[in-house]
Structure 1
Amino acid sequence: MVETARVDLQREFKAPEARANPIPVYAKLRKLGPVLRSADLFGEGFVLPRYEEVVRVLKDPRFANDRRNVPGGSSLDRWWMPAIMRMLISSMVLKDPPDHRRLRNLVQKAFTPVMVENLNGRVEQITEDLLDAAARKPVVDLMEDFALPLPLTVIAEMLGVPQSDRIPFRALIAKVLDSSAVTPISFIRNYPNMLRLNSFLRKLVKLRREQPGDDLVTALVQAEEGGDRLSEDELISMVFLLLFAGHETTVNLIGNGVLELVRHPEQLQKLREQPDLIDSAIEEMLRFTNPVGIVAPRFAKEDVEIAGVPIPKGSALTLLIASANLDETAFPHADELDITRSPNRHVSFGYGIHYCLGAPLARLEARVAIPALLRRFPRLDLAVPAEKLRWRPHIGLRGLEALPLSVSLAGSAAERSAA
Structure 2
Amino acid sequence: MTEVIDLGAFGDAFRRDPHLVYARLRERGPVHRVRPPGSDETYATWLVVGYEEARAALTDPRLVKDGERIGATFLDEQVIGKHLLITDPPQHTRLRALVARAFTVRRVEELRPRVQQITDDLLDAMLPRGHADLVESFAYPLPLTVICELLGVPEIDRAAFREMSTEVVAPTGADHGQDAFVRLGAYLTELIEDKRCAEPGGDLLSDLIRTTAEDGDRLSAEELRGMAFLLLIAGHETTVNLVTNAVHALLTHPDQLAALRADPALVDGVVEETLRWEGPVENATYRFAVEPLEIADVAIEKGDPVLIGLASADRDELRYEEPDHYDVRRDPRGHLAFGHGIHFCLGAPLARLEARTALRSLLDRAPGLALDGPPGEWLPGMLMRGMRSLPVRW
TM-score by length of 1: 0.87
Distance in 1, matches of 2:184 and 2:7, equals 28
Aligned to 2:86: 94
Q: 1:393 to 1:130 in 2, by over 3 A?
A: same
Q: Confirm whether residue 397 of structure 1 aligns to residue 389 of structure 2.
A: no
Q: 1:143 to 1:44 in 2, by over 3 A?
A: closer
Q: Cα deviation per residue 1:87-118 (whole Å; 9 max; x = unaligned)? A: 43522211000000000000000111111110
Bigger radius of gyration, 1 or 2? 1
Q: 1:145 to 1:343 in 2, by over 3 A?
A: closer
Q: 1:62 to 1:190 in 2, by over 3 A?
A: closer
Q: 1:60 to 1:199 in 2, by over 3 A?
A: closer
Question: 1:4, 1:33 within 8 Å by CA — same for their partners in 2?
Answer: no
Aligned to 2:29: 33
Q: Cα deviation per residue 1:253-295 (whole Å; 9 max; x = unaligned)? A: 0011100100001101111111111112101111111211111
Question: How far off is 1:304 after superposition?
Answer: 1.2
Q: Which amino acid aligns with 1:213?
A: G
Question: How far off is 1:5 after superposition?
Answer: 4.2
Q: Confirm whether residue 282 of structure 1 aligns to residue 274 of structure 2.
A: no
Q: Secondary structure at the match of 2:125?
A: helix
Distance in 2, matches of 1:58 and 1:195, equals 28
Q: Confirm whether residue 187 of structure 1 aligns to residue 184 of structure 2.
A: no
User: Aligned pair count?
Assistant: 387
Where in structure 2 are there 5+ consecutive unaligned residues? none
Question: 1:292, 1:396 within 8 Å by CA — same for their partners in 2?
Answer: yes
Question: 1:172, 1:193 within 8 Å by CA — same for their partners in 2?
Answer: no
Q: Secondary structure at the match of 1:135?
A: helix
User: Does 358-367 or 193-202 show the bigger shift?
Assistant: 193-202
Question: 1:106, 1:224 within 8 Å by CA — same for their partners in 2?
Answer: yes
Aligned to 1:234: 223
Q: Confirm whether residue 157 of structure 1 aligns to residue 149 of structure 2.
A: yes
User: Does 374-383 or 339-348 show the bigger shift?
Assistant: 339-348
Question: How far off is 1:380 after superposition?
Answer: 1.4
Which of 163, 186, 189 aligns to 1:175? It is 163
Q: Cα deviation per residue 1:170-189 (whole Å; 9 max; x = unaligned)? A: 10111112245242232255
Aligned to 2:363: 374
Q: Cα deviation per residue 1:198-240 (whole Å; 9 max; x = unaligned)? A: 2442244324xx4112220122112222210001111111111
- Percent same amino acid among aligned pairs? 42
Question: How far off is 1:358 after superposition?
Answer: 0.9
Distance in 2, matches of 1:25 and 1:375, equals 37
Question: 2:377, 2:387 within 8 Å by CA — same for their partners in 1?
Answer: yes
Task: Please tell me the root mean square deviation across aligned C-alpha atoms, in Å.
Answer: 2.0
Question: How far off is 1:191 after superposition?
Answer: 5.3
Q: Secondary structure at the match of 1:178?
A: helix
Question: How far off is 1:301 after superposition?
Answer: 2.1
Q: Secondary structure at the match of 2:101?
A: helix
Q: 1:343 to 1:258 in 2, by over 3 A?
A: closer
Alignment of 1:45-64 (within 5 A): 45-64=45-64
Distance in 2, matches of 1:188 and 1:64, equals 24
Q: Which amino acid aligns with 1:197?
A: Y
Alignment of 1:306-325 (within 5 A): 306-325=295-314
Question: How far off is 1:155 after superposition?
Answer: 1.2
Q: Which amino acid aligns with 1:389?
A: G
Which of 187, 192, 205 aligns to 1:202? It is 192
Where in structure 1 are there 5+ consecutive unaligned residues? 408-419
Q: Secondary structure at the match of 1:331?
A: coil
Distance in 2, matches of 1:353 and 1:318, equals 17
Q: 1:293 to 1:204 in 2, by over 3 A?
A: farther
Distance in 2, matches of 1:125 and 1:230, equals 33
